[in-house]
Structure 1
Amino acid sequence: MVERKLLQIIGGVTVGALVVVAIVVPCVLLIPEDEPAVEPTTEPTEPPSGDDRPTYTFDDLMGNDYGYSSLYPTWDKTDTTNTHFITRNSAGDIVKRAYTKPDTDVDTLITGTDDLKTSSYAVSADNQFIYYRRNAKQVWRHSYTADFAIYRMSGGAGERVDDKIVGFPMDGMIHHLEWSPTGHALAIVYGWNLWVVKDLEAATPSLYQVTDDGEQNKIYNAIPDWVYEEEMIGSNNVLHWSPDSEQIAFLRTDDTNTPIVEFSMYNEAQYPETVRIAYPKAGTSNPTVTLHAYNLGDDSIKEITIPTWPDTSANPNAILREYYFSRFTWLDENTCMPTWTDRPQTYSVGTACVRDTTSLEWTCTYIEPSTESVTNGWVGSFGPFDIVWMDANTHFTIYARANDVDPTDGRWQIAKVSWSSSSKTWLTKTNFDIVGLYWYDAVNDYLYFEAAAPLPRHRNVYRVKSSAVNDEAPECMSCPLNKDYVDRCGWITTRFNLDGSVAIMNCRGYREPMTAYYTISGGVWSDKATVLYDNQELVDKAAAIKWPRKIYGTFNSTKYSEKPLNYEMYVPADFDNSGNTKYPLLIEVYAGPEFQTVTDVWTRGWSSTHMVSDKNVVVASVDGRNSAFEGYKFMRQAYKQLGQHEPEDQTDFAAWLASQPYIDETLVGLWGWSYGGYTTTHTLGYDAGNTFKCGIAVAPLADWRFYDSMYAERYMGRPQDNDDAYTKASMITAHDLNNFKNVEYTLIHGTADDNVHFQSAAEMEKALVEADVDFDTFFYADQAHSINAGNANKHIYRQLTSRMSHCLERCGTPYPGGC
């Protein structure tokens, strides 16, 4: 849904490019605090005397003065030393650099020009060509249309070649370009069709059209339609080059029978434009998909069929007729593995697909160990997990594994699946969740993976032998970093180089981020990591500001007794918990299924930094039922009953925290965006003003019947099968709307939200008006779900600041200018 990934709202600053290195990111410093076992200590702390440091202002939030460097290298595939990556320098040149000196140019591939310096780019695998993406226009969350300029990198400014390709699109409507993994063939998606350029080195390169039936809201070739992009693929394309660059596997999505959503774009025209999107809502007709492989050698297209596999619903002997494409991976040019799920997403299967080298036809086989079946939840995490190949007959993946004591509970663990013997072996049996696979070192027999460990709020790199069975304590390779750099490397994102001899570690917090690397030889890691970026300048700048302190803890809920709930709390730099100072409390909430709020991640969020530092409030979040990485029984509490536990957990936590001596229990606010806005609204309706004084909901979903089938049905089933739960999950029908008369409620929404449609705000507004409830509402014309086009991002955060500051008695008026 709705911010399905782990996103931090950081004042609207978005950094994006096709090639990303040495990023400077806005951030916020969190002063370390001892972690309490159950609740914040009530022993008095003496606030610093005479602290006249400035606060973190609204202008600071909107600016870029507090940045840091990190390294996410795009490795040079032509480099036999596996030490260089490709990036762009400050002059706009595309250059090579060594990871050991990531700010020093080693070689220049092409010099920058004024009109290309701000364009995204990608270099071909052989470093002979480059394309620049220009004038990109956002379509949905990941998709765009744009112009592309292609250059031969022959020294200096290079030689432009796209204007030599007969028929190359020049109208700004290209959806996607992608280089082949070897050489410099180019896949193009234009007009919802797949095209290729095979001979860029020719005097007049040719453009070949692979498909010809593409049409908006009807047929999508090699790019996803709306629901696949948002809920399953998480990308702007569904094409996969084979390792030898001789084939392209692509998805064809048929939306012919998918219902259409329409809304207006105003755009200062005399008549509004009507936007139409094929959008399957819960219980309605879904798109149908087929998978194909295009052969560049003979221009043939072969279908990679889904085999007949059993329906695990009411009739176990029936044939499954509705399914979703989920994942795809090549082993070699003749072997691949697509993964599919049924429509309820309680069953998934990875199919073994082999190509006949003579006929070039594909045959796909159902292999039982490559399936996952769940009876009281859903498979994977927002879909099945990806796989990593061990050899031609064996792959690794992640499945939910029941624990020995309680078969209804368990963790995500690594399974080794053998095609030849049709068997599955569990490599791991840990007490933490494994969340992703990196790569397999076949020479030294190590599978590297990422885990939410040693605590759920952490991320670290581990490894395990392929011969392991039920390994309860796999080796943590990155854990020493957090011992050497206390509280800076609790959450690590890792990038291995092409031969696995280097691991770049980007430590993302919870204190000041930093970047280091390990060298690896024969499976042996260097004793110590070498620091690339210590970001000392940030440390010094942050020390001059009243940055928040961060406290982690656990809370014993009165609504859920099986385990304590994890929370995090941001407090002012001069925080006094003795009770001599009473602070307003602001709860920031998301609470969607599979989400996690409590993390060891650096942040400069609006509430957690600006409101804490400048408005002197306490901001807190709790991971209630539905949250991930604490065992799937806890996560699946939400199954088929969204909206029912979230308000209980948020209210219980807020009431408990408000009872602490340092909180003013009369000044408690709540806010959230997307699913967080949905939870905010539900919580206010549930609480009826007993705990919360006010709440702000941005882009909330009113009713799951209004949302897309892939997300809504994953957690709720179809409305026709679970009608009562849908009614209880609706913001409009779940609670007595008269309860909103006891709180200050603000509803904010963009009119062009393609994700959570403006319909939700309109229906909620109608219901509140009919119930004679006074409330505050604010709409943003032509703004999508993120409300960040033009000046809208700055504007909405100013509204949030003024309205919440008024509620928490930090200014005299709820409108900008009074604070």
Structure 2
Amino acid sequence: MPIQLDDLMRGEFGVLKSSIDWLDDGIEGHDGLYAERDGSGKVVVGDYSRVTTTETITLVDISEFEYDGEKHTISMAWPGKGLEKVLLMTDPRKNWRHSYYGEYWIYDVSSKNIEPLVPNLLTTDVRLAAWSPMGDVIAFVLENNLYIRNVSQQSVSQITTDGDKNTFYGIPDWVYEEEVFSGNSAVWWSANGKYLAFLRSNDSSVPEYSIPYFERFPIENGSYPEMVDIKYPKAGYDNPIVELMFLDLTSYEVFLPKIDDLRNLKDNDRLITEVVWTGAKVMVRQTNRESDLLKIVLIDPLHRNGSVVREEDVSGKDGGWFEVTHDTTYIPANKSYGRQEDGYIDTVIIDGYNHLAYFSPLDATSPKQILTSGSWEVVDAPSAVDLTTGTVYFLATRKDPTERHLYAVQLDGTNFRSISNTNEAGYYGVSFSTGAGYLLLSYNGPNVPYQTLLSLREGTEVTIQENAKLAARLENYKVPETVWEQITVEGDVVVNTLEIRPQDFNPDKKYPVLFHIYGGPGSQTVDKRFTISFEAHVASALDAIVVSVDGRGTGFMGRKFRAVVRDQLGYWEARDQILAAQQWSKRSYVDPSRIAIWGWSYGGYMTLKTLEQDGGKTFSYGMAVAPVTDWRFYDSIYTERYMHTPQHNADGYDGSAIKNVTALMGAKRFLVMHGTGDDNVHFQNTLALIDKFDLQQVENYDMYVFPDSDHSIFFHNANKVVYDRLDRWIELAFAGVYGE
């Protein structure tokens, strides 16, 4: 039977995956300790150094508990070093995309006693809690101030006192959470637990954006919408001023290191994008706000100073930018293994592609050893380093840009080899134990995913997830076929594409085609991951073809391919969709009068930009969800990375907006949907576009609004409704209901 949308939304085609947290128990030479949640929510610790038996112990044998007569359900848990205590979180409340408020507790494994993180105070407003590597103290953030809880002494010390709506300690503000750290933490412990580095964000000059919430808060609060103000810097406006501060756990003294002011970036032009402890020192990655100047700062907490040790400017090279990465890996000195000085592995640009290089000593201005090179790229690398064997593991696109395979190379650049099976198509993910002796290898496609546990030193392998039930379930459905190919859109520009065909595809029929796009800089939609998605439903149930094209600006095809979109977002990406659609329209099995395009977020922007540039010549229909419509409305850190500031590129911003709205009248019809509570792509984008429509009497569109939903559109059953409406709308479009 066809893949039904209801089955898809119920998770019938979900992939089972084991997700484990590797632990370091502090025992030299011991590797393989892990923690995970079992099906009942209990915290289980196992030891993969006994691969054949996988012995486990249960640290927390409850999934809920009562305290002072109230029931609490455990949602997250983090074992401390020594596995004697476990940090628990209950009653989480969502904040932004990655952050939440919660109630935190300390659980004693032997006595099974549970006590609040803050003694004698139950509070659901803790934004972050993080163990020291030594397992004796916990850093946490309450009301934007940093605190330290001494576990054994049951004492709490307040470290900062001026945290407020303008000042954040140890947690990112909105823009740093969304665009830099992709998480809720801005604290970094030294390995010995003697120092804590933490970010201070001063948002005093950052403008506020107000979001009205109509239904999220109970009516008892009043008959007026609740207004939530967010410190949100739009392109060209003031960014938060960020500084890396330190806490000395010996004296509980807070200090700000003195950095070489002559070479360091100024407050209003500084982004801190990565912080890495490199032994006794801290390496800080900084870029200017337009992300084309990189400075590596090395800080010595003992002497409380630092300096810029490496810098690179790409503005005059390839016109590209520096993406935010969190993969710099510290390589400690060890003369027994031939490492005379401390060093680190970083991703660098080699002949226009992202590759790995080994720097040593820490203040080296150029690499000691280039580890990889060629017309392909490393991805989120390195994945791990085995310091005993000098082996560097990493994922890369060496075989094919739509695949991910695991490779290894030695620190001296020799013995490059593949670890995953490169003889067959594969898209792999990896999770290494703390010492890189064990590997959870996830095969994510193109066939049904599975997971295996490998002992890299002993050569043993255990399959821990097969997804046999999913494979059997798929036998009952008309699963569409996916065809990957490269096409030339113009000149020497080659792009990756995929085509999803109905299972009973007939080349003599004339099929409608739905283009699915994201298209943002450095992104990738065309890959060989297994998925049963909305697009698979469209192909299976609506007897249509779905096409994705990764045009210029997308990732893993080299910097030249990406950088061409700089300062003029929307032009080349839309052009490649149109050129590809023109080729598909000439295929014998395609009905050229029924070609549509759809996307969400950047994909919503690209849907509208493509319809604008095409003017109805190729695409008849479009569906745009939560679209950016003018980059002056979006946040500074993301936008200026690709567009520079509006002050430096006014014409580019003007041209990248959805501006020629009368061209959209060339399409037969299109759909726009947005959530009013979108803290990411503000509803302002869609309202500004609708105003342009009104002024130009553009009326060939439908619109649907989701009260209080954020960018993911989930509030009050909205996620089910948004896909129902997409499904019904495109079905009617392909049926010819939306006429000339």
What TM-score comes out, normalization by structure 1 length?
Answer: 0.83
SS in 2 for 1:455: coil
In the aligned structure 1, how far is the partner of 2:327 from the partner of 2:283?
Answer: 13
Deviation at 1:263, TM superposition (A): 1.9
Counterpart for residue 381 of structure 1: 323
In the aligned structure 1, how far is the partner of 2:260 from the partner of 2:180?
Answer: 21
Q: Deviations over 1:735-757 (max 9, x none)?
A: 25243253311111111111111
Deviation at 1:321, TM superposition (A): 5.7
Counterpart for residue 67 of structure 2: none
Counterpart for residue 492 of structure 1: 428
| Correspondent of 1:545 among 467, 477, 487 | 477
In the aligned structure 1, how far is the partner of 2:100 from the partner of 2:539?
Answer: 36
Q: Tell me if the contact between 1:263 and 1:752 (Cα under 8 Å) persists in the aligned partners.
A: yes
In the aligned structure 2, how far is the partner of 1:573 from the partner of 1:349?
Answer: 52
In the aligned structure 2, how far is the partner of 1:612 from the partner of 1:102?
Answer: 43
Q: Deviations over 1:202-258 (max 9, x none)?
A: 4xx111111111112x00101111111111111111000111122210000000011
Counterpart for residue 94 of structure 1: 43
Summarize the Cα distance change of 1:66–1:736 in structure 2 as closer, same or farther, 3 Å threshold.
Answer: closer
Summarize the Cα distance change of 1:786–1:420 in structure 2 as closer, same or farther, 3 Å threshold.
Answer: closer
Counterpart for residue 66 of structure 1: 13
Q: Deviations over 1:701-730 (max 9, x none)?
A: 111111111111111111121111111100
Deviation at 1:146, TM superposition (A): 1.6
Counterpart for residue 740 of structure 1: 665
Q: Tell me if the contact between 1:595 and 1:627 (Cα under 8 Å) persists in the aligned partners.
A: yes
Deviation at 1:584, TM superposition (A): 1.0
Amino acid at match of 2:385: Y
Summarize the Cα distance change of 1:164–1:379 in structure 2 as closer, same or farther, 3 Å threshold.
Answer: closer
Indicate whether 1:428 and 2:355 are aligned. Answer: no
Deviation at 1:794, TM superposition (A): 0.5
Q: Tell me if the contact between 1:227 and 1:280 (Cα under 8 Å) persists in the aligned partners.
A: yes
In the aligned structure 2, how far is the partner of 1:645 from the partner of 1:197?
Answer: 53
Q: Tell me if the contact between 1:282 and 1:713 (Cα under 8 Å) persists in the aligned partners.
A: yes
Summarize the Cα distance change of 1:421–1:658 in structure 2 as closer, same or farther, 3 Å threshold.
Answer: closer
Deviation at 1:367, TM superposition (A): 1.4
Percent of pairs identical after alignment? Answer: 27
SS in 2 for 1:705: helix
In the aligned structure 1, how far is the partner of 2:623 from the partner of 2:515?
Answer: 11
Q: Tell me if the contact between 2:355 and 2:371 (Cα under 8 Å) persists in the aligned partners.
A: no
Counterpart for residue 402 of structure 2: 457
Indicate whether 1:419 and 2:419 are aligned. Answer: no
In the aligned structure 2, how far is the partner of 1:460 from the partner of 1:413?
Answer: 15
Counterpart for residue 602 of structure 1: 530
Indicate whether 1:758 and 2:683 are aligned. Answer: yes
Counterpart for residue 533 of structure 1: 465
Indicate whether 1:121 and 2:84 are aligned. Answer: no
Summarize the Cα distance change of 1:415–1:630 in structure 2 as closer, same or farther, 3 Å threshold.
Answer: farther
In the aligned structure 2, how far is the partner of 1:348 from the partner of 1:103?
Answer: 48
Counterpart for residue 638 of structure 2: 711
| Correspondent of 2:160 among 187, 206, 211 | 211
In the aligned structure 2, how far is the partner of 1:681 from the partner of 1:813?
Answer: 18
Deviation at 1:340, TM superposition (A): 0.9
Q: Tell me if the contact between 1:95 and 1:105 (Cα under 8 Å) persists in the aligned partners.
A: no
Deviation at 1:134, TM superposition (A): 2.0
Q: Tell me if the contact between 1:624 and 1:650 (Cα under 8 Å) persists in the aligned partners.
A: yes
Amino acid at match of 2:194: E
Q: Deviations over 1:149-208 (max 9, x none)?
A: 3221225xx111217714x4x33211111111222411111101111101x234xx1111
| Correspondent of 1:633 among 560, 578, 584 | 560
Indicate whether 1:514 and 2:441 are aligned. Answer: no
Amino acid at match of 1:595: S
What TM-score comes out, normalization by structure 2 length?
Answer: 0.92
Q: CA RMSD in A?
A: 2.4
| Correspondent of 1:349 among 292, 295, 298 | 295
Deviation at 1:113, TM superposition (A): 4.2
Counterpart for residue 140 of structure 1: 96
Amino acid at match of 1:603: T
Amino acid at match of 1:759: Q
Counterpart for residue 582 of structure 1: 510
| Correspondent of 1:201 among 145, 149, 152 | 152
Amino acid at match of 2:102: A
| Correspondent of 1:477 among 415, 419, 423 | 419
| Correspondent of 2:144 among 182, 186, 192 | 192
SS in 2 for 1:556: strand
Summarize the Cα distance change of 1:658–1:125 in structure 2 as closer, same or farther, 3 Å threshold.
Answer: farther
Counterpart for residue 244 of structure 2: 291
Deviation at 1:118, TM superposition (A): 5.3
Counterpart for residue 35 of structure 1: none
SS in 1 for 2:296: strand
| Correspondent of 1:159 among 109, 113, 119 | 113
Q: Deviations over 1:419-438 (max 9, x none)?
A: 36544242322221112112
Q: Tell me if the contact between 1:677 and 1:699 (Cα under 8 Å) persists in the aligned partners.
A: yes
Deviation at 1:343, TM superposition (A): 1.7
Q: Tell me if the contact between 2:273 and 2:285 (Cα under 8 Å) persists in the aligned partners.
A: yes
| Correspondent of 1:322 among 269, 272, 289 | 269
Give the alignment of 1:164-243 within 5 angstroms: 165-166=119-120, 168=121, 170-198=122-150, 200-202=151-153, 205-216=154-165, 218-243=166-191
Give the alignment of 1:777-788 within 5 angstroms: 777-788=703-714
Counterpart for residue 3 of structure 2: 56
> Which ranges in structure 2 are unaligned for 5 or more consecutive residues?
65-70, 334-340
Counterpart for residue 576 of structure 2: 649
> Which ranges in structure 1 are unaligned for 5 or more consecutive residues?
1-53, 312-317, 403-408, 815-819
Summarize the Cα distance change of 1:321–1:747 in structure 2 as closer, same or farther, 3 Å threshold.
Answer: closer
In the aligned structure 2, how far is the partner of 1:320 from the partner of 1:142?
Answer: 26
In the aligned structure 2, how far is the partner of 1:396 from the partner of 1:632?
Answer: 20
SS in 1 for 2:15: strand
In the aligned structure 2, how far is the partner of 1:385 from the partner of 1:442?
Answer: 16
SS in 1 for 2:344: strand
In the aligned structure 1, how far is the partner of 2:130 from the partner of 2:326?
Answer: 25
Amino acid at match of 2:581: A
Counterpart for residue 265 of structure 1: 213
Indicate whether 1:445 and 2:401 are aligned. Answer: no
Q: Tell me if the contact between 1:71 and 1:506 (Cα under 8 Å) persists in the aligned partners.
A: no
Amino acid at match of 2:56: V
Q: Tell me if the contact between 1:76 and 1:86 (Cα under 8 Å) persists in the aligned partners.
A: yes
Deviation at 1:632, TM superposition (A): 0.4
Deviation at 1:517, TM superposition (A): 2.6
Higher relative contact order (CA 8 A, sep 6+): 1
Amino acid at match of 2:468: Q
SS in 2 for 1:140: coil
Q: Tell me if the contact between 2:604 and 2:625 (Cα under 8 Å) persists in the aligned partners.
A: yes
In the aligned structure 2, how far is the partner of 1:678 from the partner of 1:417?
Answer: 44
Amino acid at match of 1:292: M
Deviation at 1:349, TM superposition (A): 1.5
Deviation at 1:793, TM superposition (A): 0.6
Q: Tell me if the contact between 1:146 and 1:173 (Cα under 8 Å) persists in the aligned partners.
A: yes
Deviation at 1:110, TM superposition (A): 2.3
In the aligned structure 2, how far is the partner of 1:421 from the partner of 1:721?
Answer: 33
In the aligned structure 2, how far is the partner of 1:606 from the partner of 1:86?
Answer: 34
Deviation at 1:305, TM superposition (A): 4.1
Q: Tell me if the contact between 2:661 and 2:696 (Cα under 8 Å) persists in the aligned partners.
A: no
| Correspondent of 2:62 among 112, 133, 136 | 112
Amino acid at match of 2:525: T
Q: Tell me if the contact between 1:411 and 1:431 (Cα under 8 Å) persists in the aligned partners.
A: no
| Correspondent of 1:790 among 710, 716, 730 | 716
In the aligned structure 2, how far is the partner of 1:649 from the partner of 1:163?
Answer: 54
Give the alignment of 1:401-416 within 5 angstroms: 401-402=350-351, 409-416=352-359
